[in-house]
Structure 1
Amino acid sequence: MGHDVTVLTVSNDQSKPQTEQRAGYTLVRLSPRIELFGNALFAGTVKYLRNAREYDVVHAHSHLFFSSNLTAAYSRVTDIPLAVTCHGLMSQRVPEWFSRFHLNTVGRFTYNAADVLFSYTAPERERLRDLGVSSDIRVIHNGIDVDRFTPVGATYDRITDATGPAVVFVGRLVEGKRPRDVLKAFQTVQNNIPEAKLFFCGDGPLRDKLEQIVERENMRESIRFLERVPYQEMPAVYRAADLFVLASRTEGFPRSVMESMACATPILSTRLEQTEQVIEQAGRTVPVGDTTALADAMSSMLDDRAVLRKLGQAGREIVMREYDWSETVEQTTQTLGTISTSTPSQQQVDSGQAEEQVIPAGSNTEHEQ
Structure 2
Amino acid sequence: MEIIHLILGKANPARMNGVNKVVHDLATQQQQAGFAVEVWGFSANPVHDYPERTYTTRLFGASRNPFGISASWKQAIMSRKNTIVVQLHGGFVPRFYAAARFLQQHQIPYLITPHGNYNWHALQRSRLRKKLYFNLFERNLLNGAGAIHALGQSEIDGLQSIFPNEKSVLIPYGFSALANVTAGAPAEFIVGFCGRLDIDHKGLDRLIEGFALFREKAPFAQLWIIGDGPHRQQLEKMVEQLALRQYVVFWGSQFGDEKVRLLSQCSVFVHASRYEGLPVAVLEAASLGIPCLVSEATNVGEAVRSFDAGYVIGQGTSPQVAEGLSNLYQQWQTDRLMSLRRNARRMVDEEFNWPRQLDLFNQLYRMIRGKSTLV
- TM-score bucket of the superposed structures, by smaller chain: 0.7 to 0.9
Report the Cα offset of residue 63 of structure 1.
1.9
Is the aligned partner of 1:144 residue 2:175? Answer: yes
Q: Deviations over 1:178-198 (max 9, x none)?
A: 212111111122222122111
SS in 2 for 1:221: helix
The residue matched to 1:284 in structure 2 has which SS?
strand
Instruction: Find 2:220's aligned residue among 195, 208, 216.
Output: 195
Determine which structure has greater relative contact order: mean sequence separation of CA pairs < 8 Å that are 6+ residues apart, divided by chain length. 1
Pair 1:329 & 2:361 matched? no
CA distance in 2, matches of 1:46, 1:195: 60
Q: Number of matched residues?
A: 329
Amino acid of the structure 1 residue aligned with 2:245: R
Say whether the 8 Å CA contact 1:45–1:67 is kept in structure 2: no
Alignment of 1:156-175 (within 5 A): 164-174=188-198, 175=200
On the 8 A contact 1:19/1:28 being kept in 2, the answer is no
Q: CA RMSD in A?
A: 3.6
Which of 17, 31, 40 pairs up with 1:8?
40
- Supply the distance in 2 between the matched residues of 1:10 and 1:206 (Cα, whole angstroms): 26
* Cα distance change of structure 1 residues 149 and 328 upon mapping to structure 2, 3 Å threshold: farther
1:313 CA displacement:
1.9
Q: For residue 115 of structure 2, what is the aligned residue in structure 1?
A: 87
Q: 1:279 to 1:21 in 2, by over 3 A?
A: closer
Superposition pairs of residues 1-369 of structure 1, within 5 angstroms: 1-9=33-41, 17-18=47-48, 22-28=52-58, 41=66, 47-55=72-80, 56-88=84-116, 89-90=118-119, 95=125, 97-98=127-128, 101=131, 105=135, 106-121=137-152, 124-125=155-156, 128-129=159-160, 131-134=162-165, 136-146=167-177, 148-152=178-182, 164-174=188-198, 175-231=200-256, 233-272=258-297, 274-280=299-305, 281-288=308-315, 290-305=317-332, 306-340=335-369
Is there any run of 5+ residues in structure 1 with no aligned partner, and where? 36-40, 346-369
Render the CA deviation track for 1:286-333: whole Å, top value 9, x for unaligned.
Answer: 243621221122122123223422222222222211211132123323
Give, as a single letter, the amino acid of the residue that structure 1 aligns with 2:143.
Answer: N
- CA deviation string 1:5-43 (max 9, x = no partner): 33234667x7x94377944312345676559xxxxx485
The 3-state SS of whatever aligns with 1:251 is coil
Residue 108 of structure 1 contacts residue 133 of structure 1 at CA under 8 Å; is this kept in 2?
no
TM value normalised by structure 1:
0.75
Q: Equivalents in 2 of 1:92, 1:172: separation in Å?
A: 16
The answer as to whether partners of 1:149 and 1:235 remain within 8 angstroms in 2 is no
Structure 2 residue identity aligned to 1:170: C
Q: CA deviation at 1:265?
A: 0.9
TM-score (norm 2): 0.74
Answer yes or no: is the 8 Å Cα contact 1:11–1:32 preserved in 2: yes
Query: In the TM superposition, what whole-angstrom CA distance separates every residue of 1:200-241 from its partner, at most 9, and x where no partner exists?
Result: 111111101111233344433211112221145444343221
- Measured in 2, the distance between the counterparts of 1:182 and 1:107 equals 33
Note if contact 2:69-2:98 (Cα within 8 Å) is conserved in structure 1.
no
SS of the aligned residue for 1:272 comes to: helix
In the alignment, is the contact (CA less than 8 A) between 1:18 and 1:30 conserved in 2? no
Q: 1-side partners of 2:288 and 2:165: how far apart?
A: 37
For residues 205 and 191 of structure 1, the distance between their equivalents in structure 2, rounded to whole angstroms, comes to 30
Alpha-carbon offset, residue 48 of structure 1? 1.8
2: CA distance, partners of 1:139 / 1:271: 16
Q: Which amino acid aligns with 2:289?
A: A
Is 1:149–1:259's contact at 8 Å kept on the other side of the alignment? no
Identify if the C-alpha distance between structure 1 residues 136 and 304 changes in structure 2 by more than 3 Å, giving closer, same or farther.
same
Answer yes or no: is the 8 Å Cα contact 1:242–1:265 preserved in 2: yes
Partners of 1:233 and 1:42 in 2: how far apart? Answer: 39
8 A Cα contact 1:266 1:283, kept in partner: yes
